[in-house]
Structure 1
Amino acid sequence: MQIDYQRELAEFEWDIPEGYNLPAVIESHAAAFGDRLAVQFRDDDGNEARRRFADLRDDMNRFANALESLGVGEGDRVMHLLPRHPDVFAIQLGALKRGAILVPCSAMLKPKDVQFRANDCEATTIVCHDELTDMVEAVADETPLDTMVVLGGSRMGEWESFGALIDGESTEHDGPDIGPQSPMSINYTSGTTGQPKPVLHRHRWMHCFERVNGRYWWGVEEGMDFEDELLWATTGTGWAKWFWSPVGVALTTGAPQFIYRGDFDPETFLSLLESEGVTRLCAVPTQYRMFTQVDDMADYDLSLKQTLSAGEPLNREPIQAFEEAFDVTPRDGYGQTETVALVTNYPGIDVKPGSMGKPTPGLGTTIIDTVDEEEVERGEIGEVAVPVDSPAIFDGYFEKPELDERTFSGAYYRTGDLASEDEDGYFFFEGRADDIIISSGYRIGPFEVEDALVGHPAVAEAAAVDSPHDDRGNVVKAYVILAEGYDGNDELVEELQEYMKEETAPYKYPRRIEFVDELPKTSSGKIRRIELRDREMSKFGD
């Protein structure tokens, strides 16, 4: 698929079907191509499973009937705490068929996080894998949860068995009427300050993914020939990214997808890409970087047609390595829990390393001043923003009117992410709005510093923040995790600083460098620069 970007910018129109909802999409797929592979599953013990689209429909309806018998209905919040598993889609779709609202949770959370989410959205039901039930049982009595379903285990205590519940249930279900404006999910943002916020999405979100993420990022759309295609997004079920790709692209377009349950290991994942015949991959930058550290990476015989990167900007080194090894260019994309893909390197674009790409058609994504609602000039740093009336962003925070008022009071939804646009219309990520470094009047995006630093062989990972300085107001401070075999000392500090002066504008080099063993991160793996800034204030602030 090749995109005529300017034409599609000019001609794009939203056309969300009146009765659109995700379970209805699956019913339609099952009727049209029920025998088509929907999910190919493997785990690290060698177990395999396959689900056709007809299987997804049947198990969706079986679970919806089971939930109805348990008293779960329209508007109820259904949490799930699940690993990658072949039955995850049936669980999610079954809850949606009942008109319930999904509340995904990551296995990386702690019991107190589960407790917070359950209480915050008043969830009464949870579906949990049998290996994770301890997380729920530790706090269940302190929450509204009264219906608990276990996947992968038998009935025990308060837990109903998923397998037993769906056994013998009808493969048809007459649920409540739901449409594009019906609530679908509450995805909690990780945030950099305060408690996570409950982002509410409606069923139309899935249609927007199909129209935007599918076509302008993955290069797939409903009706194309999927006979020799297999998509793989390496995300987990608890993240918004699960809805971005495994649900929002693969399920909506009818594309076959691969799901693997197992810890990331670059050699294992490369072997799976080869043996499964994956044609389109979406991974995170850390995984791409680790792929390129495999000495014989180019020896793997891969079938990749498209490679995507998400979560944070992708450095130039892994892009070049994949191009050389597999003749495919990883294409970055940008969006949030609150949105679809706002900016992508679409199929056929001339990728500029370090760039998020160009704004996707239909959204009106732009860059505005961090104070006023005026678009900034090209080359200037501003805040990525989307018109508040776009159907491709969230509707608000679940039962948080004070947050809604603050977020939607203007003409734009402000993402809180800073970017600049070059002369060709490419967007470049510059950091979070509260992460920008101002030193001697210069505005410095932390990512450019971090991106250059990790290009040095001694640097495995880096985070840049502002550090108070008497003369300059602030200077750039870099926290650095060293690669194996390197020792942090004054000589290396000087070497890195001289290297940075060659790689970036001189005013951007880190005047202070501290070697650390780890960086503070959110549960979704994003660096909490606010903690690092607080450290600097305690050291050098007044």
Structure 2
Amino acid sequence: MASQTRRVQDSPPVPADAYAALYHAFRWHVPPRFNIAHAGVRRWAVKKATAAAVAIIEDRPGRPRPRRYTYGELADEANRLSNALRLLGVQRGDRVAIVLPQRFETAVAYMAVLQLGAVAMPLSQLFGPEALEYRLQDSAASVALVDDATGPGVLAVRGRCPALRHVVGLTGAFDVDVVDWPGAREGLRSRFEAVDTAADDPAVLIYTSGTTGNPKGALIPHRALIGNLSGFVASQNWFGFDPWDARAQSEAVFWSPADWAWTGGLMDALLPTLYFGRPIVAWHGRFDPLEAFALLQRHRVTHTFLFPTALKAMMKAVPEPRRRYRLRLQAIMSAGEAVGDAVFAYCRDQLGVTVNEMFGQTEINYVVGNCARLWPARPGSMGRAYPGHRVAVIDEAGKPVPPGTVGEVAVHRRDVHGDPDPVFFLGYWGNEAATRGKFTGDPADSWCRTGDLAVQDADGYLWYQGRADDVFKSAGYRIGPSEIENCLVKHPAVANAAVVPKPDAERGAVVKAYVVLAPAWAERRERCADPATEFDAPLVAELQQHVRGQLAPYEYPKEIEFIDALPMTTTGKVQRRVLRLQEEARARAAGGPSSVP
């Protein structure tokens, strides 16, 4: 098979910029009846050749060899679990919580719930009791699927979740109140007649991070997977097939550290990989930059999604990776934060791959990005609207702004041909007011606001300016954190950085940077007898000069604080709001101004 496969780099040359022709020729084809489990597993499992293909490669620390599971095995286990859930009373539309890490059983759980016509509700293994309890109560989930690591957390809040009738332990030993799946599965049939679902039927309920107020549950339909595919294949440089040779067989292997409980791991990694019948690596362990390189090499990974925080850590840990590792990467997608030109250059020069930055949200995922194979990526840009998505930068009144003007990124319900865009969510669970507030204009013909600010150039490339609530003013100047953070990361001493406003009586706010030191510099600091004098002061001055020499004078950080780690969401995004509130609290305690204009 490998000898018959042409790799991406061996394909015929393409025009320098094939974007316009591809974008305007693209049309959506969404069948009225569609189910993610059928598209991702069942259709492969019914054919002998593809049923034997590897679907999941499960790897974990301490395991001498990874375990490989085929599409046939995945389908059989999903069928057994669907039968079990039906016996437990799960019906069409019921919410089933999936509280599992990256592992084979997680893929089984999603397929079992989706082909039953129920709604999968992923919950992160990192959630504490309050986060679990809120989501289980708000969704009225009837069943929770857990393993030995996540089960105790769910059991601790079960008594306060009256709708939660059953907890199913897919692995490990539990008490009598938990359904023992390993003991029960043998008595269940490996055949299951899947429920016939409409493309518009709900499939997944994913709660947003809740940076302001309580988290909101975004209800995602089955058709949304189709809406993700144009962006997925573009950002992965035509993953899974060759557009110039339909006979060429793919050798793509996918891996991402993104948790399968989040949009990035589920809709950008697991589900589209299965849709194309390819294997995905399930790493059952914490992210580590050296282990990431080892995984890429060990499993001959060709395509990946690595969020910018991960890429920054890998860049600092291994500056010249091709000297130490044999990599087969053909595409890297990155999203969640601005990539910046420092990471862009590292991927291009040291990994040999032009990183395709992507932008999307849980509610409308995979709508903007790059495809280095078909149109040139511009360092620092988050890309253009992917085919099938109509994207604009709008003002407060909902009107598109001219190129070069800062505005809010928005996605229209209909594409350039007037057809409905299948990527859209159905609405926020039990919160019609929040759903209405997400859109501007006629509900059937409206823009969906993202809350993210950007500038669009004359060629349609968008340049990220930050979250609307992350941008601030200092002495009348509008400051976006991304550009300053990107500049700081270019310095060898900086592993990561976050920029926030510090309240100031004279300027309204000054620029403050929280900096995580690169390992070698952190060790050097620890060896100092007086770190504040011997290390901090000279490095702060050096970093300030570093930024001052590359950006506008008003953008350099007036204050820099070194910390061990930035506050992060479970999806790998920096929680600038946490740092901003900390600065405001410190200002109040000091008797100064406590708010930022």
Q: State the TM bucket, normalised to the shorter chain.
A: over 0.9
Aligned to 1:294: 318
Aligned to 1:30: 45
CA distance in 2, matches of 1:490, 1:149: 55
CA distance in 2, matches of 1:176, 1:508: 56
State the AA in 1 paired with 2:575: R
Deviations 1:221-251 (A, max 9, x none): 5677454221112211221112223333101
Aligned to 1:342: 367
State the AA in 1 paired with 2:515: V
CA distance in 2, matches of 1:325, 1:509: 28
Inter-CA distance 110–290: structure 2 relative to 1 (3 Å threshold)? same
Deviations 1:148-192 (A, max 9, x none): 111212463111122233324222212432121111111011132
CA distance in 1, matches of 2:215, 2:408: 21
Inter-CA distance 311–140: structure 2 relative to 1 (3 Å threshold)? same
CA distance in 1, matches of 2:349, 2:231: 29
Aligned to 2:294: 271
State the AA in 2 paired with 1:400: N
Instruction: Give the SS at the match of 2:382.
Output: strand
Contact 1:497/1:511 (8 A) holds in 2: yes
Is 2:143 aligned against 1:112?
no
Instruction: Give the SS at the match of 2:549.
Output: helix
Contact 2:307/2:572 (8 A) holds in 1: no
Following superposition, the deviation at residue 494 of structure 1 comes to 2.6
CA distance in 1, matches of 2:326, 2:563: 38
Is 2:593 aligned against 1:541?
yes
2:267 is matched with which residue: 236, 240, 244?
A: 244
CA distance in 2, matches of 1:351, 1:9: 16
Aligned to 1:96: 114
Following superposition, the deviation at residue 20 of structure 1 comes to 1.1
Is 2:576 aligned against 1:529?
yes
2:280 is matched with which residue: 257, 260, 263?
A: 257
Deviations 1:482-514 (A, max 9, x none): 331245533333322222111112221122333
Comparing 341-350 with 115-124, greater Cα deviation is found at 341-350
Comparing 198-207 with 380-389, greater Cα deviation is found at 380-389
CA distance in 2, matches of 1:181, 1:525: 30
Inter-CA distance 152–444: structure 2 relative to 1 (3 Å threshold)? same
Is 2:507 aligned against 1:472?
yes
Aligned to 2:402: 377
Contact 1:231/1:257 (8 A) holds in 2: yes
Contact 1:388/1:408 (8 A) holds in 2: no
Deviations 1:60-97 (A, max 9, x none): 21111111111111111100111111121111111111
Instruction: Give the SS at the match of 1:355.
Output: coil
1:156 is matched with which residue: 164, 171, 175?
A: 175
What is the TM-score of this pair, normalised by structure 1? 0.94
CA distance in 1, matches of 2:230, 2:189: 33
Q: Percent identity?
A: 33
Is 2:54 aligned against 1:40?
no
Comparing 249-258 with 219-228, greater Cα deviation is found at 219-228
Inter-CA distance 417–217: structure 2 relative to 1 (3 Å threshold)? farther
Aligned to 1:357: 383
Instruction: Give the SS at the match of 1:353.
Output: coil
Report the RMSD for the aligned CA atoms in angstroms: 2.1
Following superposition, the deviation at residue 408 of structure 1 comes to 2.8
Aligned to 2:334: 309
Following superposition, the deviation at residue 262 of structure 1 comes to 1.7
Structure 1 unmatched runs, 5+ = none
CA distance in 1, matches of 2:157, 2:106: 23
Aligned to 1:234: 257
1:16 is matched with which residue: 11, 19, 30?
A: 30
Q: Residues 181-192 of structure 1: matches in 2 within 5 Å?
A: 181-192=200-211
Following superposition, the deviation at residue 479 of structure 1 comes to 2.2
State the AA in 1 paired with 2:223: R
Inter-CA distance 492–45: structure 2 relative to 1 (3 Å threshold)? closer
Is 2:422 aligned against 1:391?
yes
CA distance in 1, matches of 2:184, 2:364: 35
Instruction: Give the SS at the match of 2:34.
Output: coil
Structure 2 unmatched runs, 5+ = 1-7, 9-13, 415-420, 526-530
CA distance in 1, matches of 2:575, 2:57: 36
Aligned residues: 541
CA distance in 2, matches of 1:161, 1:227: 39
State the AA in 1 paired with 2:45: A
Comparing 40-49 with 62-71, greater Cα deviation is found at 40-49
Aligned to 2:436: 405
Inter-CA distance 224–98: structure 2 relative to 1 (3 Å threshold)? farther
Instruction: Give the SS at the match of 1:350.
Output: coil
Inter-CA distance 388–541: structure 2 relative to 1 (3 Å threshold)? farther
Aligned to 1:428: 463
Is 2:353 aligned against 1:320?
no
Contact 2:342/2:490 (8 A) holds in 1: yes
Contact 1:477/1:513 (8 A) holds in 2: yes
Instruction: Give the SS at the match of 2:436.
Output: helix
CA distance in 2, matches of 1:423, 1:507: 27
Inter-CA distance 101–315: structure 2 relative to 1 (3 Å threshold)? same
State the AA in 1 paired with 2:105: D
Following superposition, the deviation at residue 4 of structure 1 comes to 2.3
Instruction: Give the SS at the match of 1:180.
Output: coil
Following superposition, the deviation at residue 522 of structure 1 comes to 2.9
Is 2:392 aligned against 1:366?
yes
Instruction: Give the SS at the match of 1:209.
Output: helix
Inter-CA distance 40–517: structure 2 relative to 1 (3 Å threshold)? closer
CA distance in 2, matches of 1:268, 1:527: 22
CA distance in 1, matches of 2:436, 2:343: 42
2:75 is matched with which residue: 57, 61, 83?
A: 57
Q: Residues 120-135 of structure 1: matches in 2 within 5 Å?
A: 120-135=138-153
Deviations 1:400-446 (A, max 9, x none): 11211222353211111111123433212111011112223322211
State the AA in 2 paired with 1:233: S
Aligned to 1:514: 561
Instruction: Give the SS at the match of 1:341.
Output: coil
Deviations 1:346-396 (A, max 9, x none): 142322222211111111011112x12121222222111111453212111
Deviations 1:127-146 (A, max 9, x none): 00112211011111000211
Comparing 99-108 with 501-510, greater Cα deviation is found at 501-510
Following superposition, the deviation at residue 295 of structure 1 comes to 5.6
CA distance in 2, matches of 1:275, 1:314: 26
